[in-house]
Structure formats: C-alpha cells, structure tokens
Structure 1
Amino acid sequence: MPQKEEPLQSLDELAAEGDEIDFDVAAASFDEIEALRAERDDFRDKFMRALADAENTRKRADRDRREAENYGGSRLARDLLPVYDNMHRALTAAKEGEEKVPDSLLEGIELTMRELINVFKKHGIDTITPEVGDRFDPKMHEAMFEAPLPGTKAGDIIQVSTNGFMLHDRLLRPAQVGVSSTPKS
C-alpha cells in the first residue's frame, strides 16, 4: 500500500516558522514537486490500464484457443456429413432391398460406419436422431414438408429424412423431418 503523502507546506507557512526562504528557489521546488507528483499519478494510471489490457488480452486469447480447439474442425465435420448420409442410405438399402447383398460387403459398410461414428464422438460430434412421433423442435430440426396425417397432432414428426448433428453445443446440421399439420376433421 503506498504511503500517504504529507501535504506540502505553502511558502507562507514556511516563512511564518521563521525560516529564511529563498522564495524563487522554494517556489521552483514546490512547482517541480507538484509536477513530479502529477507525472507519477499519470504513469500509475497508464500502468494500471496496461495491466488491465494485458489481462483482457490473455482472457481473450484463452477463449479463442478453446473455441479453436472445439470448433476449428467444423468445416471438415460438415464436409463429412454427406459421407455419413450415403453410408446410412447404403446400409438401409442393403438391409431392406430384395437383392441379396454379400455379407462381407454389408459387414464392411457397418464397420466403416461404426468407425466414422467413433471418430465423430471422439471430436465432440453427436448425432441428432429424431423418431417418428417426437415433437418438432425448430432448434434441432428442419421441416422439409408439412402434411396433415390422421392420428397425429400438429407439430409431430411424421418422417425423418436425415439425421442432424451437434458439434459440442453448436448445431452443425439440423435433422431434416416431415411434420404433421393440424389434421383436417
């Protein structure tokens, strides 16, 4: 804690004490001391501002580094989503198709799909997989069409076109769904 400074005595007070004073020298010293104090206060203010600025820069750099670690690969992740979609379609077609697909080919596609999902999880990419009957959430889903469907409520998901994806807490791609409109009576 800085020491409290004693106020300077005025030239008149010094003269009243009976000391011989060279008023020109004393006035010059008094003005010089005041100028030095003002300069010191100015430097202290600049120093405190520089410290605050350095701390803010450090915090900003930390935040930028964390964001780069978490979200720097988002463009690559978006570019890999069509690969996931195509593999998912291939698996669905192979399982639902009438033609017999060689088991080794089906197993290879499944293993590749699992590995892709593991890589996604390793890098913080999670799949958004809505189910038919879930409520439409505009924060997570993209409505591709709307149609009245008996036995459903308005806003229910009636078809899932593609899954969506989250990168940590950010939406990479919304799930594309069909949504029920109010059924006509």
Structure 2
Amino acid sequence: MADSKKDEFLDDVEAAEAEAYAAETEEIEADDVEADELAALRAERDELRDRFMRALADAENARKRADRERRDAEAYGGTRLARDLLPVYDNLHRALAAAGDQEGAEPSPLIEGVQLTLKELRNVFQKHGIEEIAPQAGDRFDPKLHEAMFEAPVPGTRAGEIIQVSTVGFMLHDRLLRPAQVGVSSTPAS
C-alpha cells in the first residue's frame, strides 16, 4: 500500500505539473494574444492619429484658402466695374483737353462741371485703390506697366524710351487694370 500511495502521490505530482504547464502555456498564449491585440490597437491608434492630423491640416488649409479668397474678393471684386469706368475717365479727360485748346479768359460752367466730375472720379478711384499709371516722355518702357502702340525712330532719344503717351494706365492695388498705351523710340544706339 505504501507503493500505491507513492504511485498516487507521483500521479498527483505529474497531474499538478501538467496543470501548471498547461496554465503556464495558456498564460504565455494569452500574453501573446494580448501582445498581438495591443499591437493591433497601437497600429489602429497611430492610423487614426495620422488621419486626424491630416484632417486637421486640411481644415486649416481650407480656412486659410477661404480667408485669402475673401481678402482677394474684397480687394479685387470691383475689377470689372473699375475697367468699365476707365473709358468714362478717358472721355472726361479728352473733353477737358479739347476745351483747353480753346483760348478763353475764364472757363465756362460746363468745363468746370467736367473738371469737378473728373476730380470726383479720381477721388473714387483713389478710395478704392485704383492708381493712375502716367508715364512721361523720356521714361523707360516697362512691359509690365506699358503697352507699346507703335515704335518710331526719334532723334535725340534712345531705343526703349517712351516718346508719346496715348492713354494712361491704371493699377488696382498691386494688379494691372490697364497698361498705359505709349509710343516707344526705336532709335538705334549710336
């Protein structure tokens, strides 16, 4: 009987060792599963963080773009109207030039009215950021601001100098509304 207790005891020890081994194996497997789940959760977190940061950057870019477009609309929204008013300015200016050709002691009320209208139009232009480009004869031709209407060799000038201004140009803030129309010297360099 002592042997049977001994055998029972050994069987119990073996069973306990087997249970401990199985529990340890399950624990290791559970740790592996938890590690895999943890790695998957970290990967998902990183992906969601990346998507969130991209969405945040997109929203910030959209806000900046909308702000820039709003500022441009405020500054340049009246471009078409301003371009449509330029011929009015030109006609008032021509009317005064034609009236100035007549010799007279005192300007007539009509001429004074045209002068006041032109002055008021200039004030409105200035208020809205429209500036006149008025080159003078002898200035250098700038293709960014001037439009060459003709070229002519004029003695006493250098090639590329403005020799005549046909029509003044206009800028709206930093954008060209209309280039000044000019004649340019083509006199070759001597």
Equivalent residue in structure 2 for 1:68, among 73, 97, 100: 73
Query: Which range moved further: 27-36 or 155-164?
Result: 27-36
- Name the counterpart of 1:175: 180
C-alpha distance in structure 1 between counterparts of 2:100 and 2:42, whole Å: 85
Deviations 1:108-130 (A, max 9, x none): 10111011001111111000011
Displacement after TM superposition at 1:26 (Å): 3.8
C-alpha distance in structure 2 between counterparts of 1:183 and 1:83, whole Å: 38
Percent of aligned positions that are identical: 70
Displacement after TM superposition at 1:74 (Å): 0.8
RMSD of aligned alpha carbons: 2.6
Deviations 1:20-50 (A, max 9, x none): 7445544433322222111111111111111
C-alpha distance in structure 2 between counterparts of 1:52 and 1:82, whole Å: 46
C-alpha distance in structure 2 between counterparts of 1:140 and 1:33, whole Å: 66
- Name the counterpart of 2:155: 150
The structure having more radius of gyration, on CA atoms, is 2
C-alpha distance in structure 1 between counterparts of 2:114 and 2:166, whole Å: 20
Deviations 1:78-130 (A, max 9, x none): 11110000000001001113689961101110111011001111111000011
Would you say how many aligned residue pairs link Structure 1 and Structure 2? 170
1:176 alignment partner, SS class: strand
1:82 aligns with 2:62: no
Equivalent residue in structure 1 for 2:56, among 46, 51, 54: 51
Alignment of 1:96-111 (within 5 A): 96-97=101-102, 103-111=108-116
1:97 alignment partner, SS class: coil
Q: TM-score, normalised by structure 2?
A: 0.80
Alignment of 1:123-134 (within 5 A): 123-134=128-139
**Bigger fraction of residues in helix:** 2
C-alpha distance in structure 2 between counterparts of 1:32 and 1:151, whole Å: 89
